[in-house]
Structure formats: structure tokens, C-alpha cells
Amino acid sequence: MPTRDKGDATAADSAPAPAPAEMPTGPDVIAAYIKHLPASPGVYRMLDAAGEVIYVGKARSLKARVSNYTRGNGHTNRIARMIFSTASMEFVTVRTEAEALLLEANLIKRFRPRFNVLLRDDKSFPYIMIARDQDAPQILKHRGARNRKGDYFGPFASAGAVGRTINMLQRAFLLRSCSDSVYESRTRPCLLYQIKRCSAPCTGEIGLEEYNGLVAEAVRFLQGESQSVRQMYQKLMEEAAEALEFERAAKYRNRLWALAHVTADQAINPEGVEEADVFAAHQDGGQTCVQVFFFRTGQNWGNRAYYPKADRSLSVEEVLDSFIAQFYDDKPVPRLILVSHQIPSRELMAEALTLKAGRKVEIAVPQRGTKIGLIEHALQNAREALGRKLAESSSQRILLDGLAERFGLERAPRRVEVFDNSHIMGSNAVGAMIVAGPDGFVKGQYRKFNIKSEGLTPGDDYAMMREVLTRRFKRLVVNATLADEMPGAQPPTTDGKRLFEDSSPIPAEHDGPEPVDGHGMSDGEGLAPLESEPDDETAFPDRPDLVLIDGGLGQLTVACEVMADLGISDICLIGVAKGPDRDAGREHFHMPGRERPLMLEPRDPVLYFVQRLRDEAHRFVIGTHRAKRSKALGVNPLDDIAGIGPTRRRALLQHFGSAKAVSRAGVEDLKAVPGISAEMAQKIYDFFHERRE
């Protein structure tokens, strides 16, 4: 079997052709590759008869590693199952074992093979950014690619931690947080200036030189020089007090107070640890929890718990080893990584991450001192988080069993989808889907649908529900048909990720119960991956067992019609209608084929469970609707006119007072505005005149 060098990785990554069902599998298939393999580093992929990647591995010597799979004994049950499922293999050779480790992590995240440890991570980390596009830099929260000019500080574990820190930094350093378009068009200071959260460089309340001095102080603070910044403000406050300039002294006192709150928000700020990530793993009940703590500039910037998908036979060291490699596939690497266990490839991992970061990276297992305290603290958090997850999963499974019993389902649902719509008099209409399973809400699977049927009557809830359900389940049918006709073929994808048709996932900023903001409102943008149809009872399916419709008999009838049109008959549908006087606890449950609605006992835990599902759908769809409405309110029609930049827009708004007044102005009035020529005045008039027709 010829091998490919690193330059052929793109060709090797292409999806294999569908294999016939009668293809042989097992050790004999693997043995046929051995005589063609080199004794050099590389990455191998094992594929089943359907052409799906079931395992990705690395090797110092491809020939030696693959030979191990042909032995008749000595394998764990997991490895034995993997070997006997293998119908073909693909290989990529690389220069070093460190490169093989990095490529292996990349391919595991891309193909999500069922026999590998899988990192379930569907959102990026937030950063604090000081953008330097303008003369007066802006402080803001940032996610995604770091290609904008400016300074980045992070990562933070959650958007909430970033928001709190920015809030305090605004109090301390009075940096602007407004967008560049707002900054350019301001004619007088905004409310943030009045409440002493901004120094208003937009209107010249502070000179650019003095403002950039505040920016420099903020950067020093975020770079870890917090003590020197506080000492500087302490000295300035004392000097102002001695000079009897009490107002200036109070200003420095307030900044010191704000800086104290920033550092007080950090749970632990260990001495001697300027930049490090701490990984601690704990196993129980066949599951693993990995707690990751982030320390930057000597401060604790939060933590996040992960629950990687892994075979029960894998040790905690093996899970942690694979987890760390995948974790840094798309994230910046710190100088120091502290781990709770001796991972098998610690030295190789350090070499690979050093290669990736372009500087020395150390991976250590602390044994004493401050660092062992960090590990113990992270381990305690991992134990507690896994204990809570196991307890919640147990309760959730009991509730799902009760749900099946109350509504006469054949078995407890493994995936429940709830649909709801939101609008105001038909405007800014959106639909939403939330997902729940045995482990609770699956927020990475949430979807929002911008209602876009042109012939839809504004406020027609039935038509909106029809559109949402059709778009959601039509894609499900298409994928199922494709899988039947072409075994092993992948559904339509973007970057290897399966999509719902014309829908968007919950935005990455959504870290808690608060409504989501307007990020990613366009349909189909940045979709999170969906799990494929499960091969066993542990995988989370992409096909629901139960669909709850927020509404009564009318909405349920629409749902039944959609399912009938698409030929779907194996998904249970239930309409959840508010009872008399819309009282919680008196809900009516409508089911196809049942003449009278079902009601549950007021104190039934299953009733509370359904209410929680419905309320989560309400929260998500209302938050999405508000974000869309706010975005629409913030749109300035002047931005859509070719040739209208910040200067002309500011001149028009200063002259007429609002964009609405500009739209009503005649050509002669527009020509009277400084900087607006006769040609431009006619263009502005034509733009609004055509819009009114």
C-alpha cells in the first residue's frame, strides 16, 4: 500500500468512496497493508465497510504500530471491536512524531471517530480586546479569529467573566466601549460619560494623548502589572490630596477601588504562576470530567468543565492525554501546562505544542508548593462537577421514564425537541428549537429560524410553525435518504459539519440562562456539528423521539400535516397548551388520535419537567426575537447609501436631527448640508423615494 507524505494530507483527507457491504473486515485486511508501510512517523485512519472513519491513531513507526493490530490476542475488548470493524485503512506520513500528534488531534476533531476520545467543545473562548482601528482604542469582548488590529487578553472561561472585568476596567480607566460607527458620529457625550464609565474621547472631553495614556495603563494592568498600576494611582491620590485637589484625589480613589474589585473577582491568584493552564481529570460511573483553569498575568480568569466522550475501559491518564492534544488544536498554548496525572505522551506533547506555539512549552505534574495546591483545587472541582452531572443525569432519566409512562410512549425518549415562535404583530418573527436528552439541555443543538416566507400573513402562528417544522424535518429526511442510497456518504456539510437547512445554532456567547444577544442572527451562519445517527445506545441521536409543540390543537394539527407531507410517522407529537386562565399547572396536552386533551396531576414531577422544557423554549425564542429586534432598531438607513461615509452621515444627522428627517427632506434641503453635492443630494433623495414606493 503506497503511503503519502505530509504534502498529500489534503488528498488523504478526502472522503473515501462508498464501499460495498460485502467487503471483508478484520486482522487479515489490516495485515495486507503492512508490507507497504514505512518504519517512519505518521497517522493512520481505520475505516469500516461503510467508509466511515472509526479510529485515528499516530505512530512513531507506522509499520510497527499497524503490525500490533494483526496479533490474535492481547487486545482489550474495545480494540478487538475496532479491529474486526476495520475494512480499509489510510495513512499520512510526517517528518516527526510531534507532527503526527498534532495531525492526529486535528483529524480526530474533524472526523469524530467512535473509538477515539472525543472532546465535546462547540464554542470558542472569549477574550478582552483593545482594538486599535481608531485613534482612540476601544475595549470590547471578542470571540473567533484574532485578525483585527489590537491587543488580546485571555482566554476567559465565560462571557460573564469577560463582561464583569470589562465593566470594572471601564470604571478604572474610563475606556470607550462603543462601536467605531457610534464613536465617529457622536456629537455629545453619551450616558457612560455621565456615570463616569467613559472619558468621552469621541467629543474631545479628553485629549487623545491623555486617553492613550489611560489605554497604556489598562494594558499594563491586563499584562500582569496590576501592583505597579495600583501603586502609581496610590501615589497620585496622595499627591492630589496634599495639594488640596480633592476632586482629582477622589478620581484616583475610585480607580483604586475599581481595580481592587477586578482582582477580588479572581478566586485564587497564585504567586509564581503568571501564565498557565491547569488540567485536572476525575473518573466515576464510567464518565470523565476534565476541569480546565486559566491563569494569565498572575490572575485566575475562570474555569470550565468538560465531559469528553470516551470508552469506559480507558484510564483517566489516557483520556486526559487525548483531551489535551485536541484542546489545543484551535487554541493558543500557554508557556506552562499543569496536569493532575502523568499522561503517557507528556514529553512528546510538550515537543508538539512547542512546535505549534513557536516557543518553549512545559507540561508538568506538580508535587509540592503552590502549584500542587492549584491541582488539588482543580481536582476538587472536577469531582464535584462530575458528581453533580451524574446526579442530574440520574434524575433526568427518571423524568424521561415518567414522560414515557404518562404519554404512553414505547420507551423513554433519548432526544426531545421543543418548538416555539415569537413576534410582535408579525414583525421580526423567529422560530426556535431547543433540545433535551438524558443529560439535560443540549445547548449546542439549539436552533433558531428566521421566518422568511414571503406570502405569510403577519402574525399567522400556524404558518410560522409550519415553516419552522418543514425546514427542520425536511433536512432530516434528505439526510436519511442520502444515507440509504449511498452508504458511507456524508450529508451536505460546511467544513465537515452537518447542517440543518436554513437554521442557526445558539450563539457561542450563550453561557448561561440570560437571553442570547444578536450575534450570528443570519440563518445558517456558524452552525455547530450534529451527531450522526448513533451506532449504540450511548450516542446522542440527531433524530428526535418526541416533539413538543408550544400551542394547542391548531399547532398540533399543523405539525401532523408537516410530518405526513414528509412521510415521517415514527416521531411522537404533543401539543402543550396553557390551561384555563393560562395558569401553570393546568396545561392541556393534545396528542394525535386522542379526542380529549390529557392533563397531569398538579404536583406531578413530570408536569414540572415539561413546564421546564417549555419555559426554556420560551426563554430562547424570546431572547432571539429581542436580539433581532434590537439589531433592526440599530440599523441606520444612511449606511445603505453608496458614498455616505462617517463624515457625511454625521453632517446629515447634525443638520436634520435624525435619519427619518433626512428621508423626508427634499433635494434642495439636502444640498444645503455641508459636504453634500447636488449629485449626492439627488442620490439620497432617490434612495428614500424608491424605498417608499
The per-residue pLDDT for range 193-248, each reduced to its tens digit, is 888 889 899 998 989 998 998 898 888 877 766 566 667 767 777 777 777 777 76
Specify the length of the chain in residues.
Answer: 693
pLDDT for the residue numbered 394 = 83
- Residue whose C-alpha is closest to residue 487's, from 4, 151, 17: 17
pLDDT for the residue numbered 269 = 55
pLDDT for the residue numbered 417 = 94
CB atoms within 10 A of CB 657: 10
Give the largest Cα separation in the chain, rounded: 92
Residues (pLDDT < 70) of the chain are 1-22, 121-123, 224-230, 233, 248, 252, 254-272, 424-427, 454-455, 479-539, 579-585, 630-636, 690-693
pLDDT for the residue numbered 50 = 86
Cell of 370: 503552590
Type and span of the H or E element at 182? helix 180-185
At residue 308's C-alpha, the angle toward residues 302 and 310, to 5°, is: 160
The phi, psi pair for 283, rounded to 5°, reads -115, 140
The domains spanning 276-388 and 416-629 adopt the same CATH topology = yes
- Report which residue type is found at 272: G
The CATH architecture one would assign to domain 637-692 is: Orthogonal Bundle (1.10)
pTM of the entire predicted model: 0.64
pLDDT for the residue numbered 528 = 34
Specify the fold of 6-111: GIY-YIG endonuclease (3.40.1440)
- Residue whose C-alpha is closest to residue 421's, from 550, 546, 509, 286: 550
pLDDT for the residue numbered 560 = 92
- Residue whose C-alpha is closest to residue 46's, from 103, 117, 118, 113: 113
Q: Which residues contact 428 (CB under 8 A, 6 or more apart)?
A: 625, 628, 629, 632
Cell of 33: 497493508
**Per-domain residue ranges of the chain:** 6-111, 127-264, 276-388, 416-629, 637-692
In whole numbers, what is the pLDDT of the chain averaged over residues?
A: 79
Cell of 662: 433626512
DSSP letters along 101-141, please? HHHHHHHHHHH--TTS-B----SPPPEEEEE-SSSS-EEEE
Q: Which residues contact 445 (CB under 8 A, 6 or more apart)?
A: 435, 505, 528, 530
Q: Answer yes or no: CATH 2.30.30.30 is held by domain 276-388.
A: no
Instruction: Tell me the three state secondary structure of residue 23.
Output: coil
DSSP state of 619: H
- Residue whose C-alpha is closest to residue 545's, from 413, 401, 408: 413
Specify the fold of 416-629: Nucleotidyltransferase; domain 5 (3.30.420)
Instruction: Report CA-CA distances (Å) from 303 to 162, 306, 318.
Output: 12, 10, 22
pLDDT for the residue numbered 158 = 75
Summarize pLDDT for 455-501 with one digit per residue, the tens: 677 777 888 888 889 989 888 777 666 656 555 444 443 333 333 43
- Residue whose C-alpha is closest to residue 516's, from 621, 634, 434, 612: 621
